[in-house]
Amino acid sequence: MNKNLKGFLYLLPALLFLSVFMIYPLIDVLIYSFEEGYNFASQTYKGIGLYNYFYVLRDPYFIQALKNTFIIVIITVPVSTGLALVIAYLLSLIKPLRDFFQTVYFLPYVTNTLAVGLVFMILFKKTPYSDGLINVLINAFGGSSVDFIDGPYAAKMFVMCFYTIWVVLPFKILILTSALASVDPNYYKAAKVDGTGSFRIFFRITLPMISPMIFYLIITGFIGAFKAYSDEVALFGTDLNSAGMNTIVGYIYDMLYGDSGGYPSYAAAAALILFIIVLTITCINLLISKRKY
């Protein structure tokens, strides 16, 4: 059989699926975003232009979603990366129970975010029957009860970030643990012989050696946090706009489907705005990491 034909036949299924569900949509989403006044039912539109982008950028729900997403990104990426670094470093110092801790720390990765989010909601929620466990703890330390799920914005944002960090930490701990294990022990031996203190060893040897991995985690962390959505649904329910906790991705889906849905053009414009933001931030990250190392 002809090699070209054979290669094509083996690739046919993948090419088929990729064209229908990836390449065509990519072009289509661009077209959608420029079609003004698109009607989903009759599949007609009034004109071509930038109106969809202006509409989205002026929509107060989008501004709220943008603000929420940026807060989540700015808080969770540095905190989770730092925390993962501390935990992975401490793990590398011990022998007994190390496997046990590693297994436990990885558990959130394999659990359903929607399901465990419900547990977090119950722990933090204040109901007529009970203030919830977290509030009982706060009371025990002399504070007063706060409703973290339906209460003030800062409280909701706190639970949101806490849950996000809880969810993303397993991946980061895993990556940093294997990065730490791959540092050549000879460097440590040489430093020990020279009588270098452990702080100095950490900042002068360990950190520079694993810095590529840290940058990898920061970049993937930024991308992941900008796409935050399911964790929000898990805590605050599907009507994120009324909870004031929507994210950019949530805004896209709300525009597409559900009670406020039926506007694929607005959804497409919002999706492209998100893509541009993520692309810009990733490029900036790459530039910084190149310059430093």
Partner 1 sequence: MEEKNSYTINEKNYRTVKLVKNIFIYLILGLWAIIVLFPFYWMLLTSVKSYSAYNSEYIPSFFTTSPTFQNYIDAFSAVPLGRYFINTIIFTLFTTLIMLIVIVLSAYAFARIDFKGRSVLFAFFLSLMMIPNELVIITNFVTITDLDMRNTYMGLILPSVTSVFYIYLLKENFEQIPEELYKAAKVDGTSDLKYLLKVMLPISKPTVVTVVILKVIECWNSYVWPRLITDDPDYFLVSNGIQEIRENGFGRENIPAMMAAVVVVSVPLIVIFLIFRDKIMEGVSRGGTKG
* Site for partner 1 contains 202 (CB under 8 A): no
Of residues 278, 286, 270, the one with CA closest to residue 63: 270
**Closer residue to partner 1 in complex, CB, 129/141:** 129
Do 160 and 99 form a contact (C-beta atoms < 8 A)?
no
Which two tokens mark 69?
Answer: 């997403």
**Closer residue to partner 1 in complex, CB, 75/235:** 235
39 forms bridges with which residues in the sheet? 44
Cα–Cα distance for residue pair 180/200, rounded to 1 Å: 16
Do 141 and 134 form a contact (C-beta atoms < 8 A)?
no
* Site for partner 1 contains 47 (CB under 8 A): no
Number of Cβ atoms within 10 Å of the Cβ of 11: 11
Of residues 161, 170, 158, the one with CA closest to residue 84: 170
* Site for partner 1 contains 278 (CB under 8 A): yes
**Which span (69-77, 149-157, 171-179, 183-191) binds partner 1, by CB under 8 A?**
171-179
Smallest distance from partner 1 to CB 62, Å: 14
Select the residue interacting with partner 1 from 48, 50, 74, 118 (CB under 8 A). 118
Select the residue interacting with partner 1 from 65, 233, 240, 245 (CB under 8 A). 233
Site pattern 129..168 for partner 1 (x: CB under 8 A)? xxxxx--x-----------------------------xxx
Smallest distance from partner 1 to CB 200, Å: 16
Phi and psi (nearest 5°) for 35? -85, 120
Select the residue interacting with partner 1 from 52, 80, 113, 246 (CB under 8 A). 113
* Site for partner 1 contains 61 (CB under 8 A): no
Select the residue interacting with partner 1 from 17, 54, 202, 203 (CB under 8 A). 17
Select the residue interacting with partner 1 from 41, 47, 60, 94 (CB under 8 A). 94
| Residue 235, amino acid | L
* Site for partner 1 contains 229 (CB under 8 A): yes
Do 168 and 106 form a contact (C-beta atoms < 8 A)?
no
* Site for partner 1 contains 97 (CB under 8 A): yes
Do 85 and 176 form a contact (C-beta atoms < 8 A)?
yes
Select the residue interacting with partner 1 from 34, 53, 148, 253 (CB under 8 A). 253
Cα–Cα distance for residue pair 145/133, rounded to 1 Å: 10
